[in-house]
Amino acid sequence: MTIEAELETERDPVTTDLAHGIDALVRRVLASVVRVVGQGQGVGSGVVWRINGGIVTNDHVVAAHAGGVAVELDDGRVRPATVAARHPAFDLALLHVEGVAPGELRMAATGTAAHLRVGELVFAVGNPYGQRNIVTAGIVSGFGEARLPSVAQPLRYILSDVLLRPGNSGGPLVNAYGGVVGINAMIRGGDLAVAIPTEVVQAWLNDQDQIL
């Protein structure tokens, strides 16, 4: 008997609910996570931010592939994408998948990073070393602040102890409610994961709308 089957038989409410909770949360998020593919290679992760084909990733993921990238969707289909906008200082990039059919992309649910507290559960989803859909868990460890030369306001970012590896970049950091609270961008000092808060992504995208 598998451990899962045993737990089902015992009907331990807390254990099964916790396990089901993580399973339900991850399955919901995975539908909105893409693999960003460069010249034939997986280079990172991305989050479906807009139903019309807008995908958010890190700028450093696409910096070397500005001519064009492809995204591999949750169901394995690969679609060409253009780099619609870049913000190197925030390490953000917006990809656009052309000709998206209704219902083809599942928009990620977003959470509020400003409400995050140290100690809250968070999950990272991405494609480390090109492997699809790897989930790591941890907590919010703290917050950091960066003063960027080209930006008036200091950037407040999220620190967490989730395990990130190359290829996780551009993937979502998700809170216990299943909402995307940040975009995983880098690893600081060997073991601290840095994520760009959802509000920063949203504000930048709103600016893009005004320009376009």
* Of 32, 59, 91, 160, catalytic: 91
Taking residues 85 to 124 in sequence order and writing x for each that binds another protein by CB under 8 A, - otherwise, the string is ------------------------x-------xxxxx---
Q: Catalytic annotation on 65?
A: no
Place of tokens 């492997």: 131
Rule CB under 8 A: say whether 146 interacts with another protein.
no
Place of tokens 């949360």: 25
Distance separating alpha carbons of residues 50 and 106, to the nearest angstrom: 8
Cβ proximity of 110 and 179 under 8 Å: yes
Q: Catalytic annotation on 91?
A: yes
Taking residues 2 to 41 in sequence order and writing x for each that binds another protein by CB under 8 A, - otherwise, the string is ------------x--xx-xxxxxx----------------
Distance separating alpha carbons of residues 151 and 128, to the nearest angstrom: 30
Give the binding-site size for another protein (rule: CB under 8 A).
32
Judged by CB under 8 A, the residue of 159, 186, 187, 205 near another protein is 159
Full DSSP string of 102-161: TTSS-PPPB--GGG--TT-EEEEEE-GGG-S-EEEEEEEEEEEEE--TT-SSPEEEEEE-
Instruction: Name the residues that contact another protein, by CB under 8 A.
Output: 14, 17-18, 20-25, 109, 117-121, 137-143, 159, 161, 175-179, 189, 191-192
